[in-house]
Amino acid sequence: MKNEYVKLKEYMEQSGKTVAVTGAGISYLYGMRRLKKRVGVRSSRQVFSASYVRQYPDKFYTLMRDTFLDATFVKGPSAVHKQLAKLEQSGQIFGIVTQNMDCLHTVAGSKNVAEFQGSFADNICIDCQSRGYDYNVWNQGHMPRCEKCGAPIMPTSFYTESDVRNLALQKAMQKAINMIAEADLVIIIGTTGFRSEEYMSRIRPSARIVQINPSETKFDAAADLNIRADAAEALDAVINQSETG
């Protein structure tokens, strides 16, 4: 057993409340694709609009399926998503802060997830603005539509036509900030720190930070422990220690 994994387990045992922070690294490794890389930054602004969805609902759905949804519903959660869900269920972590909107943490079984960039579980009708909170609407093989008026729906985090989007994202970020503020231990996995200055600004001075990432990131200097390893291997070691110890 690597000393780093033993130390991580010790930190978790000493922590009253542990929060995991995850990023694109744990999704791209398992089939997620970069939308802006596919369509271009300028084109992505057009695609993320109610006018585009209204005019090209099937194209929008196909793009979402190829970029996000096949990874969520066909390939499914990775080992890391499942391990984090298991750690939450056993009470070893309190919850998850993630920049990912793919719902893979929820599909894996995690309950307390702050998705600060939005989620396919939070949707809005482009016409009547009815809201829905079920990611399964995207698992029907076709563009989901509003049960009230029949118009296409889209993730609220893409909906720029009103203040609804901003309010939803502010609420999600506030949840992330609150979780970090309560943490005794923050475990950072697969993220280089996108928008971390917002949610990490409230971390307590006494809280420990552990980073699990094969590559160097902006968290290196702040981390009490940097584990240069595959996250699945590290978390598996922690779970095995718990089950055998």
Region 150-165 average pLDDT: 94
pLDDT at residue 211 in the model: 97
Across-strand partners of 186?
Answer: 19, 209
Report the C-alpha gap between 33 and 48 in whole angstroms: 16
Dihedral sign for Cα atoms in the order 233, 109, 215, 14: negative
Query: What is the DSSP code (8-state) at residue 161?
Result: S
Region 45-62 average pLDDT: 89
pLDDT at residue 28 in the model: 61
Q: What is the pLDDT of residues 12-27, one digit of tens each?
A: 999 999 999 999 888 7
Residue 67 has pLDDT above 80, yes or no: yes
Q: Which pLDDT band holds residue 39 (cuts at 50, 70, 90)? A: very low
Q: What is the pLDDT of residues 97-149, one digit of tens each?
A: 999 999 999 999 999 999 999 999 999 999 999 999 999 999 999 999 999 99
Q: What is the pLDDT of residues 69-96, one digit of tens each?
A: 988 999 899 999 999 999 999 999 999 9
Closest alpha carbon to 157 in 173, 141, 137: 173
pLDDT at residue 44 in the model: 55
